[in-house]
Structure 1
Amino acid sequence: MGLATQMIGWPDEFCADLAGRGHYVVRFDNRDIGLSTHLHGAGTPDILAMFGGDASSAAYALTDLAADTIGLLDALALDGVHLVGASMGGMIAQLVAVQAPDRVRSLTSIMSTTGEPGVGSPAEVALPVLLAPAATDREGAIERVIDTYRVIGSPGFEFDEAALRDRAGLSFDRAHDPAGVARQLAAILTTHDRTPDLAELDVPTLVVHGSQDTLVDVSGGRATAAAIPGAELLVVEGMGHDLPREVWPQILDRITALVTRAG
């Protein structure tokens, strides 16, 4: 899953549908989120300094998160997987395919980008979402999630406030670590442009992006599909930076078709 988002960002029903199609589904928390390892000793990075080009306070890079994922495959004794990543998770999935191409049978990159400067950039309205002060209590954390998705969510689909509140509350109960989220953001800001590496991939790939994504502009999805040889691109009209329930069937059908094509 993506920045500041725990594995429960993949809804239970979404995963159950994949499992019902005959797949063994694994979802997991990245480092510094949820029930995964939190690098408390690394402190809080200076995000504003990073926007100015000083990356010295970054605790790790996205390549390290990709190595975590490969380590999980080792621990679960999975030789090859059909990898699906959303947002920051899409960036990580891309890097897993680059770092361990023999382990990735197919790649699905959702609402993500390549790291190329000027591609997939957030809209001006979304910048306050990235830089807003962290919530200090459960209710504040829930309200911040609601406020965030009113900005970056999907204008073409129903705003499911009840589901968002449930997920935000459960996420707070599992773990609340604003410094960890900042360390993840630092990893995104300091990782190199993946475009040349993506051009070398030889893996069946699906790229999914919303036409109304204000956090990662649709140009990021288009650039990802253009960079990976033979990649398919699905632009979902009205979709923003989330996974509206109404688009699940379309996305699940395309993932299933990709997995079938990949053999």
Structure 2
Amino acid sequence: MLNLLLRRAFTPPSAEETLKHPAYPSTIWALEPHQKGKCEVGKGRPGGPLKIAYEIHGEGPTRVALIMGLAGVKTSWQRQTKYFGHDHGDEYSVLIFDNRGIGDSDKPLSRYTTGAMAVDFIELLDFIGWKEERSVHLVGVSLGGMIAQEVAYTIPGTLRSLSLISTTAQYESGPAKSWTDALWQRLGFVIPKSEEQGLIDTSRQLFSEEWLAAPDDAASLPSPKTTPRCGPAPGSPDGEYRAFDSNFQRFQAQELFKRRQTGWFTRQGFLCQLIAAAGHRKSPGQLKEIAGDVGRERIFIMHGTADKMITVANGEKLIKHMQPGVGMIVDDVGHAAGIDRPDWFNGLLEERFIACNKLMETYTYTT
């Protein structure tokens, strides 16, 4: 009933209104990387060779790699990038990148799989020199969590910790029995509709009605004192980060920005990523193998009961088969906790990083 009342009371702004909003120029935060570039991957593989765009924020000894989900770009991590790579950049080095099919990375027309996308990432780790034993804290959300499972299956010894957020070993929602069934269930993503309606529908899959209608919560976060990436805010030569009228409008602005960058978002790339997500499968035996090779005490799995994109049953099955050191089913949390609950989410991740760093101290001492 509350959701229905909020939906009636809240009128989403139009795209034109958001594009003209004083906060729009600072939609993407000015988080200048300490290192960035493009890495060629995929030589001799389907769709290759191709280039993957990446950034490293921070210069600290603790290495964190973040893998984004379906149609997400590296700037979608900006709340985590800021906290770990800038506010605490002397402690952390944070790798963010665009998966094949999105953003500044190449978008080959081929059959994408989570396995192939994992190899893209592994080759990127080779390129930047992040392949030492137990050197990387790996975090994957949604499709990124599926890719992270494949990474962990392939190079478990490289991982100091593995965090799987709002993801699944095999997409299940209702009666899906195969990846083709699951793909048909996601047809809502590809049925033609207006851009505005598409963003509204997507926002309601990712976030609660209450959060979408609430005032822009990012306005309360400390802002970097540099010029925003998409130009200085009008009347704000110091690069002030202004508030949108609602959390929905900030999400809408980020999506509009992504879709208006030349070549960042294509229907072809989106569909190829969607097929990869729908086709992902890790059997119970493979999940147990991953857990044993990475180390159950190094694994963190979190899923929210309010997740409408990948339902909570998927997270429960991951926890059942992997028996992680920390497994959390959290009431009232949706699909994108890193955006709508950033302080809480960042704190959870940091607790895991610290705990697994201590495991390394114990290992070094005993050996």
Measured in 1, the distance between the counterparts of 2:321 and 2:279 equals: 20
Counting only pairs closer than 5 Å after superposition, residues 28-39 of structure 1 correspond to structure 2 as 28-39=97-108
Q: CA deviation at 1:246?
A: 5.0
Which of the residues 310, 322, 342 maps onto 1:228?
322
1:161 aligns with 2:248: yes
Contact 1:205 1:230 in 2 (8 A): yes
In structure 2, the residue matched to 1:207 is: 301
Would the alpha carbon gap of residues 24 and 36 (structure 1) be closer, same or farther in structure 2, given more than 3 Å must change?
same
Which of the residues 196, 199, 202 maps onto 1:145?
199
Would the alpha carbon gap of residues 237 and 156 (structure 1) be closer, same or farther in structure 2, given more than 3 Å must change?
farther
Would the alpha carbon gap of residues 254 and 97 (structure 1) be closer, same or farther in structure 2, given more than 3 Å must change?
same
Measured in 2, the distance between the counterparts of 1:194 and 1:246 equals: 31
Q: CA deviation at 1:194?
A: 4.0
Would the alpha carbon gap of residues 221 and 120 (structure 1) be closer, same or farther in structure 2, given more than 3 Å must change?
farther
TM-score, L = length of structure 1: 0.81
Measured in 1, the distance between the counterparts of 2:175 and 2:99 equals: 22
In structure 1, the residue matched to 2:74 is: 7
Counting only pairs closer than 5 Å after superposition, residues 168-207 of structure 1 correspond to structure 2 as 168-174=255-261, 175-200=264-289, 201=291, 202-203=294-295, 204-207=298-301
TM-score, L = length of structure 2: 0.59
In structure 1, the residue matched to 2:119 is: 67
Contact 2:172 2:310 in 1 (8 A): no
* CA RMSD of superposed structures (Å): 2.6
Measured in 2, the distance between the counterparts of 1:116 and 1:13 equals: 27
Measured in 2, the distance between the counterparts of 1:86 and 1:163 equals: 20
What are the superposed Cα offsets for residues 10-36 of structure 1, whole Å, 9 maximum, x if unpaired? Answer: 1x2322112234211111110011111
- Percent identity over the alignment? 26
In structure 1, the residue matched to 2:191 is: 132
One-letter amino acid of the counterpart of residue 81, structure 1: V
Which of the residues 356, 360, 363 maps onto 1:262?
356
Instruction: Give the unaligned 5+ runs of structure 2.
Output: 1-67, 214-246, 358-367
Which of the residues 66, 77, 83 maps onto 1:17?
83
Contact 1:113 1:220 in 2 (8 A): yes
What are the superposed Cα offsets for residues 162-220 of structure 1, whole Å, 9 maximum, x if unpaired? Answer: 21122112211331211111111111222333432221123311112121111100111
Flag the structure with higher strand content.
2
Contact 2:79 2:339 in 1 (8 A): no
One-letter amino acid of the counterpart of residue 211, structure 1: T
Contact 1:152 1:241 in 2 (8 A): yes
Measured in 1, the distance between the counterparts of 2:69 and 2:114 equals: 12
Paired positions, count: 238
Would the alpha carbon gap of residues 236 and 163 (structure 1) be closer, same or farther in structure 2, given more than 3 Å must change?
farther
One-letter amino acid of the counterpart of residue 166, structure 1: A
Q: CA deviation at 1:237?
A: 2.4
Quick one: higher RCO (CA 8 Å, sep 6+), 1 or 2?
1
